[in-house]
Amino acid sequence: DVKVTQSSRYLVKRTGEKVFLECVQDMDHENMFWYRQDPGLGLRLIYFSYDVKMKEKGDIPEGYSVSREKKERFSLILESASTNQTSMYLCASRGLLANEQFFGPGTRLTVL
Amino acid sequence: QKEVEQNSGPLSVPEGAIASLNCTYSDRGSQSFFWYRQYSGKSPELIMSIYSNGDKEDGRFTAQLNKASQYVSLLIRDSQPSDSATYLCAVTSYGKLTFGQGTILTVHP
Protein backbone atom coordinates (compact mmCIF):
# COMPACT_ATOMS: atom_id res chain seq x y z
CA ASP A 1 0.00 0.00 0.00
CA VAL A 2 1.08 3.55 -0.73
CA LYS A 3 1.96 5.42 2.38
CA VAL A 4 2.10 9.21 2.45
CA THR A 5 2.96 10.78 5.78
CA GLN A 6 2.93 14.38 6.92
CA SER A 7 5.04 15.74 9.74
CA SER A 8 2.24 17.13 11.90
CA ARG A 9 -1.51 16.60 12.20
CA TYR A 10 -2.06 19.92 13.97
CA LEU A 11 0.09 23.03 13.99
CA VAL A 12 -0.40 26.46 15.55
CA LYS A 13 1.82 29.33 14.44
CA ARG A 14 1.91 33.07 14.84
CA THR A 15 1.60 35.66 12.08
CA GLY A 16 4.95 36.30 10.45
CA GLU A 17 6.53 33.00 11.43
CA LYS A 18 8.23 30.80 8.85
CA VAL A 19 6.42 27.46 8.64
CA PHE A 20 7.64 24.17 7.20
CA LEU A 21 5.23 21.37 6.32
CA GLU A 22 6.91 18.09 5.45
CA CYS A 23 5.58 15.23 3.35
CA VAL A 24 7.20 11.84 2.79
CA GLN A 25 6.06 9.01 0.52
CA ASP A 26 7.45 5.49 0.51
CA MET A 27 6.44 4.27 -2.96
CA ASP A 28 9.14 5.88 -5.08
CA HIS A 29 6.55 8.13 -6.75
CA GLU A 30 7.81 10.77 -9.15
CA ASN A 31 4.91 13.19 -8.69
CA MET A 32 4.08 14.98 -5.47
CA PHE A 33 1.49 17.65 -4.73
CA TRP A 34 0.48 20.15 -2.08
CA TYR A 35 -3.16 21.20 -1.71
CA ARG A 36 -5.10 23.27 0.74
CA GLN A 37 -8.71 22.55 1.57
CA ASP A 38 -11.12 25.16 2.82
CA PRO A 39 -14.88 24.97 3.44
CA GLY A 40 -16.80 26.03 0.35
CA LEU A 41 -13.63 26.25 -1.76
CA GLY A 42 -12.75 22.58 -2.05
CA LEU A 43 -9.24 21.30 -2.74
CA ARG A 44 -6.93 23.79 -4.40
CA LEU A 45 -3.50 22.96 -5.80
CA ILE A 46 -0.66 25.07 -4.41
CA TYR A 47 2.45 23.49 -5.97
CA PHE A 48 3.50 20.21 -7.50
CA SER A 49 6.72 18.50 -8.46
CA TYR A 50 7.48 15.98 -11.23
CA ASP A 51 10.97 15.13 -10.08
CA VAL A 52 13.71 16.00 -7.65
CA LYS A 53 14.47 19.72 -7.70
CA MET A 54 11.57 20.30 -10.12
CA LYS A 55 8.58 22.38 -9.09
CA GLU A 56 5.57 23.86 -10.81
CA LYS A 57 3.06 26.42 -9.57
CA GLY A 58 -0.47 25.28 -9.07
CA ASP A 59 -3.57 27.42 -8.86
CA ILE A 60 -2.74 29.36 -5.68
CA PRO A 61 1.06 29.56 -5.18
CA GLU A 62 1.15 33.06 -3.71
CA GLY A 63 2.65 33.13 -0.23
CA TYR A 64 4.10 29.63 -0.55
CA SER A 65 7.26 27.98 -1.77
CA VAL A 66 8.35 24.34 -2.00
CA SER A 67 11.45 22.24 -1.86
CA ARG A 68 12.16 18.78 -3.24
CA GLU A 69 15.73 17.76 -2.53
CA LYS A 70 14.98 14.03 -2.36
CA LYS A 71 12.50 11.99 -4.35
CA GLU A 72 10.53 10.85 -1.32
CA ARG A 73 10.22 14.23 0.40
CA PHE A 74 8.30 17.33 -0.63
CA SER A 75 8.22 20.34 1.67
CA LEU A 76 5.82 23.27 1.69
CA ILE A 77 7.14 26.53 3.11
CA LEU A 78 5.17 29.52 4.29
CA GLU A 79 7.79 32.26 4.31
CA SER A 80 5.76 34.59 6.54
CA ALA A 81 2.57 33.00 7.77
CA SER A 82 -0.62 35.01 7.65
CA THR A 83 -4.04 34.37 9.15
CA ASN A 84 -5.55 33.69 5.71
CA GLN A 85 -3.25 30.68 5.45
CA THR A 86 -5.14 28.95 8.23
CA SER A 87 -6.33 25.81 6.49
CA MET A 88 -6.07 22.04 6.08
CA TYR A 89 -2.96 21.19 4.04
CA LEU A 90 -2.90 17.92 2.14
CA CYS A 91 0.06 16.28 0.46
CA ALA A 92 -0.41 13.69 -2.29
CA SER A 93 1.76 11.52 -4.50
CA ARG A 94 1.35 9.66 -7.79
CA GLY A 95 3.53 7.32 -9.78
CA LEU A 96 4.84 8.37 -13.20
CA LEU A 97 2.67 6.00 -15.20
CA ALA A 98 -0.23 5.86 -12.79
CA ASN A 99 -3.36 7.93 -12.70
CA GLU A 100 -4.39 7.44 -9.11
CA GLN A 101 -3.24 9.99 -6.58
CA PHE A 102 -2.89 9.13 -2.89
CA PHE A 103 -3.18 11.55 -0.02
CA GLY A 104 -1.44 11.93 3.31
CA PRO A 105 -3.45 12.43 6.53
CA GLY A 106 -3.33 16.23 6.33
CA THR A 107 -2.00 19.01 8.55
CA ARG A 108 -4.47 21.42 10.08
CA LEU A 109 -2.59 24.70 10.37
CA THR A 110 -3.86 27.59 12.46
CA VAL A 111 -2.14 30.96 12.15
CA LEU A 112 -2.91 33.35 15.00
CA GLN B 1 -17.94 27.99 -15.41
CA LYS B 2 -16.13 25.83 -12.87
CA GLU B 3 -13.94 23.13 -14.34
CA VAL B 4 -15.55 20.39 -12.25
CA GLU B 5 -19.02 20.79 -10.74
CA GLN B 6 -20.88 18.46 -8.42
CA ASN B 7 -24.51 18.42 -7.38
CA SER B 8 -24.63 20.78 -4.48
CA GLY B 9 -26.14 18.60 -1.79
CA PRO B 10 -26.21 17.87 0.99
CA LEU B 11 -27.80 14.59 0.03
CA SER B 12 -29.71 12.56 2.58
CA VAL B 13 -30.88 9.01 1.89
CA PRO B 14 -32.33 6.27 4.10
CA GLU B 15 -30.30 3.17 4.89
CA GLY B 16 -30.62 0.60 2.11
CA ALA B 17 -31.45 3.14 -0.59
CA ILE B 18 -29.41 4.06 -3.66
CA ALA B 19 -27.40 7.27 -3.38
CA SER B 20 -26.67 9.04 -6.66
CA LEU B 21 -23.84 11.55 -6.92
CA ASN B 22 -23.27 13.57 -10.06
CA CYS B 23 -20.42 15.50 -11.59
CA THR B 24 -19.90 17.49 -14.79
CA TYR B 25 -16.62 18.75 -16.21
CA SER B 26 -15.65 21.35 -18.77
CA ASP B 27 -12.51 19.97 -20.45
CA ARG B 28 -13.49 17.69 -23.35
CA GLY B 29 -9.94 16.36 -23.39
CA SER B 30 -10.21 14.88 -19.89
CA GLN B 31 -9.16 11.24 -19.81
CA SER B 32 -9.24 10.11 -16.21
CA PHE B 33 -12.03 10.38 -13.67
CA PHE B 34 -12.03 9.58 -9.98
CA TRP B 35 -14.28 9.47 -6.96
CA TYR B 36 -12.80 10.11 -3.54
CA ARG B 37 -14.53 9.66 -0.19
CA GLN B 38 -13.59 11.97 2.66
CA TYR B 39 -14.74 11.42 6.21
CA SER B 40 -14.90 14.44 8.48
CA GLY B 41 -11.42 15.43 9.65
CA LYS B 42 -9.73 12.86 7.41
CA SER B 43 -7.97 13.03 4.06
CA PRO B 44 -9.58 11.95 0.76
CA GLU B 45 -9.51 8.23 0.00
CA LEU B 46 -9.74 6.95 -3.58
CA ILE B 47 -12.75 4.65 -4.04
CA MET B 48 -13.30 4.51 -7.81
CA SER B 49 -11.52 5.36 -11.03
CA ILE B 50 -12.97 5.21 -14.55
CA TYR B 51 -11.35 5.92 -17.89
CA SER B 52 -13.78 4.81 -20.61
CA ASN B 53 -17.45 5.38 -21.36
CA GLY B 54 -19.93 3.14 -19.61
CA ASP B 55 -20.24 1.64 -16.18
CA LYS B 56 -17.65 0.29 -13.78
CA GLU B 57 -18.79 -1.67 -10.77
CA ASP B 58 -16.90 -2.40 -7.56
CA GLY B 59 -18.98 -3.96 -4.82
CA ARG B 60 -21.78 -1.57 -3.89
CA PHE B 61 -20.25 1.25 -5.95
CA THR B 62 -20.86 1.91 -9.64
CA ALA B 63 -19.17 4.71 -11.55
CA GLN B 64 -20.74 5.86 -14.81
CA LEU B 65 -18.97 7.92 -17.46
CA ASN B 66 -20.44 9.69 -20.47
CA LYS B 67 -17.74 11.66 -22.25
CA ALA B 68 -20.12 13.05 -24.88
CA SER B 69 -22.19 14.67 -22.13
CA GLN B 70 -19.09 15.40 -20.00
CA TYR B 71 -20.76 13.69 -17.09
CA VAL B 72 -19.59 11.23 -14.47
CA SER B 73 -21.64 9.78 -11.65
CA LEU B 74 -21.31 7.50 -8.65
CA LEU B 75 -24.08 5.21 -7.47
CA ILE B 76 -23.95 3.65 -4.04
CA ARG B 77 -26.32 0.73 -3.66
CA ASP B 78 -27.65 -0.48 -0.32
CA SER B 79 -26.36 2.69 1.36
CA GLN B 80 -25.06 2.28 4.90
CA PRO B 81 -24.60 4.85 7.67
CA SER B 82 -20.85 4.25 7.26
CA ASP B 83 -21.14 5.72 3.74
CA SER B 84 -21.91 9.12 5.28
CA ALA B 85 -19.07 11.33 4.08
CA THR B 86 -18.15 13.98 1.55
CA TYR B 87 -17.65 12.59 -1.95
CA LEU B 88 -15.21 14.38 -4.23
CA CYS B 89 -15.24 14.06 -7.99
CA ALA B 90 -11.81 14.57 -9.60
CA VAL B 91 -10.96 14.90 -13.27
CA THR B 92 -7.66 15.05 -15.09
CA SER B 93 -8.10 18.41 -16.77
CA TYR B 94 -5.62 20.59 -18.63
CA GLY B 95 -2.86 18.27 -17.49
CA LYS B 96 -3.65 18.27 -13.79
CA LEU B 97 -6.13 16.74 -11.40
CA THR B 98 -9.00 19.10 -10.64
CA PHE B 99 -11.49 18.47 -7.87
CA GLY B 100 -15.12 19.36 -7.52
CA GLN B 101 -16.37 21.02 -4.36
CA GLY B 102 -17.71 17.78 -2.99
CA THR B 103 -21.16 16.50 -2.08
CA ILE B 104 -22.00 15.72 1.52
CA LEU B 105 -23.90 12.44 1.81
CA THR B 106 -25.78 11.44 4.94
CA VAL B 107 -27.27 7.97 5.23
CA HIS B 108 -29.80 7.84 8.05
CA PRO B 109 -30.91 4.62 9.75
Tell me the C-alpha distance between B56 and A69, whole Å.
39
Q: Which of helix, strand or coil describes residue A105?
A: coil
Cross-chain residue pair A101–B92, CB shorter than 8 Å = no
pLDDT at residue B93 greater than cutoff 80 = no
pLDDT in tens, A34-54: 999 998 888 999 999 999 999
Region of residue A79 (left: phi > 0; alpha: psi -120 to 50; beta: else)? alpha
Which residue on chain A is closest to B48 by alpha carbon? A100
- Closest CA–CA distance from residue B88 to any residue of chain A (Å): 9
A101 contacts in chain B (CB < 8 Å) = 34, 46, 90, 97
What pLDDT score was predicted for residue A20? 97
Instruction: Calculate the average pLDDT of chain B.
Output: 92
Cross-chain residue pair B92–A40, CB shorter than 8 Å = no
- Closest CA–CA distance from residue A42 to any residue of chain B (Å): 5
Bridge partners for B92 per DSSP: B97
**Which of the 8 DSSP states describes residue B48?**
E
A105 contacts in chain B (CB < 8 Å) = 42-43
pLDDT at residue A97 greater than cutoff 80 = no
- Closest CA–CA distance from residue B98 to any residue of chain A (Å): 8
Q: Residue B15: how many CA atoms within 13 Å on its side-chain side? A: 5
B34 contacts in chain A (CB < 8 Å) = 99-101
Chain Cα centroid distance, residue A77: 9
pLDDT confidence tier of residue B92, bands split at 50, 70 and 90: confident
Binding-face residues of A in 18-57 toward B, CB within 8 A: 33, 40-43, 45, 48
- Compare CB distances from A43 to B42, B92, B99 and report the shortest one's residue: B99
A103 contacts in chain B (CB < 8 Å) = 43-45
